[in-house]
Amino acid sequence: GIKMNASTALAPIIILTIAIADSVHILLTVFQEMRAGRSKQDALVESLRINAEPVFLTSLTTTIGFLSLNFSDSPPFHALGNITAIGVVAAWVFSMTVLPALVAILPLRIKPRAEGRRLPMDRFGDFVVSRRRPLLWGMIALTLISISFIPRLELDDRFVEWFDKSIPFRADTDFATANLTGPYVLEFSIGSGEPGGISEPAYLKRLETFSTWLRAQPEVAHVNSFTDIMKRLNKSMHGDDPGWYRLPNRRNLAAQYLLLYEMSLPYGLDLNSQINLDKSATRLTVILDTLPQKQILEVIDRAEAWQAANMPPQMQAKATGTIVMFVRLAIRNIISMLSGTALAFLLISATLIVALRSFRLGLISLIPNFIPVLITFGLWGIFVGEIGIIASMITATSLGLIVDDTVHILSKYNRARREHGMGTHDAVRFTFSHVGTALWMTTLVLIAGFAVLASSSFKLNVDLGILTAIAISIALLMDFLLLPPLLMLMDKEKQ
pLDDT in tens, 82-134: 999 999 999 999 999 999 999 999 888 877 766 656 778 889 999 999 999 99
Paired sense of beta strands 185-191 and 281-288, if any: antiparallel
The Cα–Cα gap between 411 and 402 comes to 15
Report the pLDDT value the prediction gives residue 117, as an integer from 0 to 100: 64
The Cα–Cα gap between 160 and 180 comes to 16
Report the pLDDT value the prediction gives residue 495, as an integer from 0 to 100: 47
Q: CA of 99: how far to CAs of 23, 29, 149, 297, 399, in Å? A: 7, 13, 44, 53, 26
The Cα–Cα gap between 131 and 117 comes to 23
Kindly calculate the radius of gyration of the chain based on its CA atoms and give it in whole angstroms. Answer: 31
Question: Among the residues of 237-384, which ranges form H helices?
Answer: 251-264, 293-310, 322-356, 359-383
| Intervals of the chain under pLDDT 50 | 493, 495
Report the pLDDT value the prediction gives residue 67, as an integer from 0 to 100: 92
Query: Which residues 6+ apart lie within 8 Å of 122 measured at CB?
Result: 429, 432, 433
- Angle of CA points 412, 418, 420, to nearest 5°: 80
How would you classify residue 246: left for phi > 0, otherwise alpha for psi between -120 and 50, otherwise beta? beta
User: Can you say how many angstroms the Cα of residue 393 is from the centroid of all Cα atoms in its chain?
Assistant: 3
Domain boundaries, the chain: 8-112+335-494, 168-319
Q: 182, 221 in Cβ contact below 8 A?
A: yes
Query: Which residues 6+ apart lie within 8 Å of 289 measured at CB?
Result: 182, 184, 219, 220, 221
The Cα–Cα gap between 408 and 61 comes to 12
The Cα–Cα gap between 317 and 282 comes to 11
Report the pLDDT value the prediction gives residue 141, as an integer from 0 to 100: 95
The Cα–Cα gap between 476 and 231 comes to 68
User: Can you say how many angstroms the Cα of residue 429 is from the centroid of all Cα atoms in its chain?
Assistant: 37
Collapsing DSSP to helix, strand or coil, 191 comes out as strand
Global pTM value: 0.82
How would you classify residue 486: left for phi > 0, otherwise alpha for psi between -120 and 50, otherwise beta? alpha
Report the pLDDT value the prediction gives residue 145, as an integer from 0 to 100: 95
Q: Give the CATH fold of the 8-112+335-494 domain.
A: Multidrug efflux transporter AcrB transmembrane fold (1.20.1640)
Query: Which residues 6+ apart lie within 8 Å of 209 measured at CB?
Result: 310
